[in-house]
Structure 1
Amino acid sequence: MNVNEQYVITFLKQLLDTPSPSGYTHHIIEMIEQEADKLGIPFERNAKGGAILRLKGADSSNPLCLSAHVDTLGAIVRSVTPRGTLAITSVGGFMMQSIENEYCRIHTRGGKVYTGTIMSTHPSVHVYSDAREFPRVEKNMEVRIDELVNSKDDVLKLGIQNGDFISFDARAVVTDSGFVKSRHIDDKASVAALFGLLEAASSGSWKPRREVVMLISNYEEVGHGAACIPEGIEEMIAVDMGCIGEDLACKETDVSICAKDSSGPYDYHMTSKLIELAKQENIPYAVDIYPQYGSDASAALRAGHNIRAALIGPGVHASHAMERTTKQAVINTARLLGAYVNA
């Protein structure tokens, strides 16, 4: 299967540059809808606001669900401090150290967007003797707003209030050496890979044998993205990032095939089939165990859906921090999914 690399990476960059923390994904779902419309792919929203895309195949008797999530880590304004800064509460699981000194945006309910920087409340070694060892925990972090504010009333006059969403600047870069580095590659790289399949089908360069139902979920980072899946599904592949680190085989150039995560082992026959197809297609891959990981398929299984499930995705270094993968891993994820659809 030929995947249009330029299309996939260009669309990935667009996704990365669009803020979409869990709970604030309506803008990026609109982008998904517009892109699906360009490709002539039927689009619908589920009750949660996620996207469902349907790709017809020669055989409609056993549709395959492919899921990827477009929601990301982020934060919400917990309160406005008397000093005119913002106390935060996390959206998703990440280390506070990973967002310290990062630029961010505050999205108000009134539609205004302000910029700021996430900092420790003891941000300077010239002022605080404990600045280096000061605990980087949620209660010790705040947002410095890029406006002339010195009090809570000053901030409230801007229209910023408790409950407003905060997105982290992705800083997405595609290098000449083939790397994609950015926040939120988890899981926008997988969404781009799925659109690689849609573009291939739309252009006529690939014909799916099985019908495919794609679920672009928008609450995965908080655990219930695919707790409800489209009807008639018996087989599901969650497409999500592969982890890299100690005791793991995956590299940034690989497609990760996860045999087991926190929800337990994935379907033996589906996982075995993916391994064999990777070998047949000469796709670099790794099989790993992720005990501190959950996927959309995990959510679907825990919700009681009677399905078989597997998990694959591009290898991503430094997940939930400043992430990095390769164009090769994203494209090969799409190729392996295409091979599975037509096997």
Structure 2
Amino acid sequence: MDYTEYAMKLTKELLQTPSPGGYTFKQRELCKKRFEDMGLEVRRTKKGAIYAVLPGKSEGKARAVAAHIDTLGAIVKEIKDDGYLRITNIGGYAWQSVEGENLIIHTREEKEITGTLLPDKASIHVFSDEVREASRTEDSVQVRLDADVSSKEGVLKLGINVGDFVSFNPRTVITENGYIKSRYLDDMACVGVLYAAVKQILDEKMEVSHTTYLFLTDYEEIGHGLYGVSDDVHEILALDIGTVGSYHTSCEKKVTILAKDSRTPYDYEFRHRLEEIAIKNNIDYATDVHFRYGSDATTYALQGTDFNFACIGLGVNATHHYERSHYDGYKNNIDLLREYMLSEY
């Protein structure tokens, strides 16, 4: 079986279920079933995150691996008198990155109403150079609904209310030469990697060295994704994207091993162990330092919890925009994650 192809196809499938931060319950239930179909026990934290238990040779010094199922998105914050909507962002992205994108309003009654995000002044024919010169901010972009409404009352009759979640069209494409393009590869690509590595371990009847908890967190983009980790966990490996571009060493065809993000350096010995695993197994990797970045591992460490922490991930181009990665990057990530879970401390 080609586990890399499996991971990419699963990424595309995952992206068909919208899951902006705070609205992940549908994705969570689908992921829970995937774990159960693998024969794994699934547990749930008090706040709602799920994690599967992968039994190991040793129950002592357990590990946790975490990827996040929440994505960027938005929430309706105002219904305008002319029937347009103002929205507020979930997660850190520039409004220019979603200008002109199709979207869905998820109502309280679970209706899905489509629309498009546009600047207040969108038409070059009507507003001339103002269209080019106007900034794109939360207060200068709006949602045009695909409905015959021109008033606040009309929008309310559709069932739309302040507080409804908004998801943007991911537009996922897998090319013939191995690239995958989409919104929200952060972090659905890493979720695909996690499932693929675990599936290979189970299919080929391998046994991980230590019992490993497989966390799918649901508030990472907002900064409080990982929680409820058992006291027997000695180290946590976060799976998140590597940022490609500028002075970064991350590459779409490699696995990124993080040395430092904007919050803290990662543990040197843990990082060095991952690098040694990559070298020993001929896994193509890049050690990198990231700017404006944090992972589930670092945000949890900053809460004062006592465990070791590291982060690896797919190199992704144009992060928090229309992102791209590659088949080779998936393969290198799957290989490193698998070999890490099989390895001893």
Give the TM interval when normalised to the shorter protein.
Answer: over 0.9
Shift of 1:60: 1.4
Corresponding pairs, count = 342
- The aligned counterpart of 1:258 is 258
Aligned counterpart, 1:177: 177
Q: RMSD between aligned alpha carbons? A: 1.2
Shift of 1:228: 3.9
Measured in 2, the distance between the counterparts of 1:300 and 1:3 equals: 34
Are the counterparts in 2 of residues 50 and 215 from structure 1 also a CA contact under 8 Å? yes
1:146 aligns with 2:146: yes
1:281-292 equivalences in 2 (<5 Å): 281-292=281-292
Work out the CA distance in 1 between the residues paired with 2:216 and 2:234: 18
Q: Which residue of 2 aligns with 1:86?
A: 85
Unaligned runs of 5+ in 2: none
Task: Decide which moves more: 286-295 or 2-11.
Answer: 2-11
Give the 3-state SS of the residue equivalent to 2:63 in structure 1: strand
Deviation at 1:263, TM superposition (A): 1.8
CA distance in 1, matches of 2:205, 2:137: 50
Answering whether residue 141 of structure 2 is matched by residue 137 of structure 1, we say no
Range 329-338 or range 102-111, more displaced:
329-338
Matching residue of 2:230: 230
Once the two structures are superposed, the pairs formed by residues 313-328 of structure 1 within 5 Å of their partners are 313-328=313-328
- TM-score, L = length of structure 1: 0.97
Instruction: Kindly indicate whether the alpha-carbon contact (under 8 Å) linking 2:258 and 2:289 is maintained by their aligned counterparts in 1.
Output: yes
Q: Is the 8 A contact 2:285 2:332 kept in 1?
A: no
Partner of 1:27: 26
- Alignment partner, residue 306 of structure 2: 306
Q: Which runs of 4+ in 1 moved over 6 A?
A: none
User: Distance in 1 between the 2:99 and 2:276 partners?
Assistant: 43
Per the TM alignment, residue 227 of structure 1 is displaced from its structure 2 partner at its CA by: 4.2
Tell me the secondary structure at the aligned position of residue 210 of structure 1: strand
Q: Within 2, Cα distance between the matches of 1:45 and 1:322?
A: 32
In structure 2, the residue matched to 1:114 is: 113
Letter of the structure 1 residue corresponding to residue 241 of structure 2: M
Segments of 5+ residues of structure 1 without an aligned counterpart are none
CA distance in 1, matches of 2:16, 2:258: 28
Deviates more, 1:228-237 or 1:80-89: 228-237
Is 1:40 the equivalent of 2:39? yes
Give the distance between the partners of 2:267 and 2:275, measured in 1 at CA: 12
Rounded Cα–Cα distance in structure 1 between residues aligned with 2:207 and 2:228: 28
**Identical amino acids, percent of aligned pairs:** 38
- Give the residue type in structure 1 aligned to 2:132: R
The alignment partner of 1:139 has SS state of coil
What displacement does 1:38 show?
1.2
CA distance in 2, matches of 1:229, 1:61: 15
Q: Residue 123 of structure 1 aligns with which residue? A: 122
Corresponding residue number in structure 2 for 1:105: 104
Partner deviation per Cα, 1:257-303 (whole Å, 9 max, x = no partner): 11001221101111001111111111111111113101001111111
Alignment pair present for 1:72 and 2:71: yes
Q: Is the 8 A contact 1:228 1:300 kept in 2?
A: no
- Corresponding residue for residue 241 of structure 1: 241
Distance in 2 of aligned mates of 1:152 and 1:331: 50
Compute the displacement of 1:48 (Å). 2.1
